[in-house]
Structure 1
Amino acid sequence: MIRDTLTPRADWQAKVEASGLVWHAGADRLYWDESVCYRFTGAEIDRIEAATTELYRLFLAAGEAVVGDPALLARFAIPPAFHDPIREAWEAEPPALNFGRFDLGFDGQDAPKLFEFNCDTPTSLLEAAVVQWEWKTECFPALDQFNSLHEALVARWRALAPALPATLHVAHVADLSGEDAITAAYLRDTAEAAGIATLPLLMEDIGWHHDDHCFVDASAMRIEALFKLYPWEWLVREGFAPHLLDNLARGDLFWIEPIWKMIWSNKAILPVLWDLFPGHPNLLPASFTIPIGDAVAKPLLSREGANVSIRRADAIIAQTAGDYGDEGYVYQSLYRLPEMAPGCFPVLGSWIVDGAAVGLGIREGGLITSNTARFVPHVIDG
């Protein structure tokens, strides 16, 4: 694994915007950064792919353990009224895109290590699937890239299409940066490429029809299938949570992703995994109590690296602010990311679609990867 310094394309902004990535720079720094790239050998990619496939197997076992143990499920800070809907969805296996991004630590030598699984509302999708592929095709046409993510998403939608109603609503919040809007629009593109008709929808425009006991869009059209780029842990705490329970009991709306994704996306899954598979080469020790030794404290429910702290020798050496943590924390042994350049620590986002490892995206930032971390492309060379 080598970090190369490059000269960006002269018109790179126009090219990534043409691909849909209008959010390519933050207030203080670039988000899409093609002044560097990572080079992997084929053997290194094989190890990342194998680790991703193995981690999916471990998550299946952990999910089974959680839904089968009421006391364990209670550790996830999920409102008790939603425990049965989670169990029922897990057993019923409703239609699901079943995709996500394993965030991994990897130094090119030891086994890749799991940090967490973003599988309810994973972002950095368009840049991983499309933008970096187009960059590679133009800049390094003779090299390869670990990237069949776009094709895998289209194929998965095509497999789901016979089970879905005529229209799929795709919802997101009206975010100022445009990141959620971009991700939702890209997912609509992949669904439509599979022959599924879609409609855009803002989360705040979802309504409830009291007589028909169903969710509707701003035009009062019944929502029968919904992909929502909005966390389940927020949904179950909204004012319309009682209507959500009613809807889940009726089972007449396809939620993509299903409510059981609340288990996998919750940091409480990390101690469960370690208890089930102690010493596994792709896992880091994790617990619900502060361990002896260096560790990372993570809220059960958090996003974009918020409220994370790194503890070394009983001192906090790095931390991020945020509004999370009231539900509790887990503690994961500290993994020392390779510092590939001063202040540059890469986290590998390994994508999976329905159990298959299909691509890689890299975020490069400080000791804690936050929403200001850069996305940098990669190639396979050797």
Structure 2
Amino acid sequence: MSNKYNLINHQLKRSKAYGAIDSFWHDLYDSEYALYDIAFLSQKEVDDIRQATNRIGAIFFKTGQLLRSLPDETLRQLDIPQKILPFIRHRALPIESVISRVDLVQTNEGLKVLELNSDTPTFEKEVFMVNGFICEEFGVRNPNEGFAEKLGMELRKALAEVLHRGKFTEKPAIVFTSHESHEEDKYTTLYLKEVANVAAKYVPLHKLTIQKGIGLFDDEGHKIDVLYRQTYPIEHLIEDVDEESGDPIGIQLLELVCSNKLLMLNPISAFLLQSKAVQSVIWGMMELDHPFFTDHEKMWIQQYFLPTYLEEDMFRKKDWKYVKKPSFGREGDTVSVFHGKTKLYEDQHKTYGHSLPVYQKYVELPTKNIKTVHGYKEAKILIGSFLINGEASGIGLRAGNQITDNNAYFLPVGIKT
């Protein structure tokens, strides 16, 4: 496609539109992140995404109940780290995760789930706030209208529930935290604090201190009752040690949570579903016609899930393309695509090479021409669909490569009228 839009004009419009949005990272790592462009979905497509999200969420969350009943050895086979095992069955809420995100792809066979980001999903500010701004800019209907208010309500509900279970009667000290130096993490966390609309403060991670067996304290020495850690993954937390003393402060924090001296959201239970190996359990039980899932649930698994195994033999036998991905990995890091024994392409980063590999049937992401500040570009489209307290909520699009990585764009989405 030839450049049919004026680049200078486009850059100015983009700069003005996104410049009006407070505390938003429309450029990341000195590169364009948020596109001044819009993709369209029909109302039916939006409804289908939310129905798929609800069904997929129900399958995952039901599986969480099963995983808690499994012995430690089995959980280790799903790559659940040894260090988390003493804490992994702790249940702070009736729901597995307060905020989780289902990554979906539209295929010729309908919507398919690639993975569930249950522990520390980002993309909230883009979906629940910024998308609406850009829809207004382009004069189109926002598929996420009203969902920011619902997000705030559900966050307050989760906080009230966790405080009730923790038997807190006095005014709680609530702290939202993230790495201060990471712009996206910090402003995502501050956005969630804002929509939660509760008495709370933001304290960067490095300013929190732990007194072993007593509590977690903020930058002013006040004891924290509730810690909201939306962008701080548990697999990183369990490895945290104090630089000076060598104390395992991450483990000490989890000990505080499990002894009810600290309440934490997302809860520990969210991490149980973070391993992509969980999808091999779901697919395997469906193939075995296991009675754990109802007939309806098995139909949903066949409809929305992709064949997923802990070995690649089945894909080679059937001569299917397949994806090799780490059970705990992020942003496409350490992901590769194969056909038989031939590696077709791979992500250049190898951060998660130590993680248990999971093998999933390959599906082609749909292609769309997008407007960037440098001209038209062909990109692959991935759908991010949020589950808030287990219910389908806001949706957003990312535009990038076949392996969606850290360089993918945020592509606003509107409803086709």
> Quick check: 1:184 aligned with 2:189?
yes
Do the aligned residues in 2 keep the contact of 1:213 with 1:246 (CA within 8 Å)? no
**Paired residues, number:** 369
Match of 1:48 in 2: 49
Match of 1:365 in 2: 400
Structure 2 residues not aligned, in runs of 5+ = 164-170, 242-248, 288-300, 370-376
Match of 2:333 in 1: 306
> Quick check: 1:334 aligned with 2:362?
yes
1:259 aligned residue (265, 268, 286):
268
Aligned-partner SS, 1:298: strand
Match of 1:139 in 2: 138
Query: In the superposition, relative to structure 1, how do residues 218 and 76 fare at CA in structure 2: closer, same or farther (>3 Å)?
Result: farther
Query: In the superposition, relative to structure 1, how do residues 121 and 147 fare at CA in structure 2: closer, same or farther (>3 Å)?
Result: farther
Match of 2:278 in 1: 269
The farther-off stretch of 287-296 and 11-20 is 11-20
Do the aligned residues in 1 keep the contact of 2:326 with 2:358 (CA within 8 Å)? yes
Q: Partners in 1 of 2:188 and 2:304 — Cα distance?
A: 29
Query: In the superposition, relative to structure 1, how do residues 222 and 18 fare at CA in structure 2: closer, same or farther (>3 Å)?
Result: farther
> Quick check: 1:282 aligned with 2:304?
yes
Q: Partners in 2 of 1:244 and 1:86 — Cα distance?
A: 13
For residue 185 of structure 1, what is the amino acid of its counterpart?
Answer: L
Query: In the superposition, relative to structure 1, how do residues 246 and 360 fare at CA in structure 2: closer, same or farther (>3 Å)?
Result: closer
Match of 1:297 in 2: 324
TM-fit CA distance, 1:306:
0.7
Q: Which has the larger radius of gyration?
A: 2
Do the aligned residues in 2 keep the contact of 1:21 with 1:127 (CA within 8 Å)? no
Match of 2:114 in 1: 115
Match of 2:100 in 1: 100
Match of 1:233 in 2: 235
Aligned-partner SS, 1:262: helix
2:172 aligned residue (153, 158, 166):
166
Question: Percent identity of the aligned residues?
Answer: 25
TM-score normalised by length of structure 2: 0.82
TM-fit CA distance, 1:340:
2.2
For residue 133 of structure 2, what is the amino acid of its counterpart?
Answer: E
Match of 2:291 in 1: none
TM-score normalised by length of structure 1: 0.89
Q: What is the RMSD computed on CA atoms of the aligned residues?
A: 2.4
TM-fit CA distance, 1:326:
0.6
Aligned-partner SS, 1:88: coil
Q: Partners in 2 of 1:273 and 1:190 — Cα distance?
A: 34
Do the aligned residues in 2 keep the contact of 1:287 with 1:331 (CA within 8 Å)? yes
Q: Partners in 1 of 2:95 and 2:225 — Cα distance?
A: 12
Query: In the superposition, relative to structure 1, how do residues 295 and 130 fare at CA in structure 2: closer, same or farther (>3 Å)?
Result: same
For residue 266 of structure 2, what is the amino acid of its counterpart?
Answer: E
Q: Partners in 2 of 1:97 and 1:61 — Cα distance?
A: 12
Aligned-partner SS, 1:112: strand
The farther-off stretch of 243-252 and 118-127 is 243-252
For residue 273 of structure 2, what is the amino acid of its counterpart?
Answer: W
Query: In the superposition, relative to structure 1, how do residues 300 and 136 fare at CA in structure 2: closer, same or farther (>3 Å)?
Result: same
Do the aligned residues in 1 keep the contact of 2:97 with 2:118 (CA within 8 Å)? no
TM-fit CA distance, 1:10:
4.0
Query: In the superposition, relative to structure 1, how do residues 149 and 120 fare at CA in structure 2: closer, same or farther (>3 Å)?
Result: farther
